[in-house]
Amino acid sequence: MDHRKSVDELCSEHAIDLAQLAERSALDKKRVQAIVEGRWTPSPAERDCIAGVFGLTRDDIAWGHKSTVEHIHGHGPQFGRSP
């Protein structure tokens, strides 16, 4: 079974913190933080920059969102009854 590691796992494994990853990948720190936390799916170029820090290719890393997408209908309680 193919187990690709996430950026978060690779950072832990290589003892690299967020600031070091941002510096070494030459990407914005806030963008790197969103990628590590799984809130942002990086572009192919961003993937290449981050993978290069670990000596990997973009296909060697598991990318994607960690949080589930919730579909919420209506506008909330401040607008009254929702359908």
Q: What is the pLDDT of residues 20-68, one digit of tens each?
A: 999 999 999 999 999 998 888 899 999 999 999 999 999 999 987 666 5
| DSSP H/E element including 20 | helix 18-25
C-beta of residue 76 within 8 angstroms of C-beta of residue 82:
yes
* pTM across the whole model: 0.75
Over the stretch 45-54, which tens digit does the pLDDT of each residue have? 999 999 999 9
What structural domains does the chain harbor? 5-62 (1.10.260.40)
- List of residues 6+ apart from 78 with CB closer than 8 A: none
- CB–CB of 60/53 below 8 Å? no
User: Side chain identity at 11, as an amino acid letter?
Assistant: C
* The pLDDT of residue 82 is above 60: no
Q: Inform me whether the pLDDT recorded for 71 exceeds 80.
A: no
Residue ranges of alpha helices (H) inside 2-72 are 7-14, 18-25, 29-36, 44-53
Q: Which band of pLDDT confidence, cut at 50, 70 and 90, is reported for residue 3?
A: confident
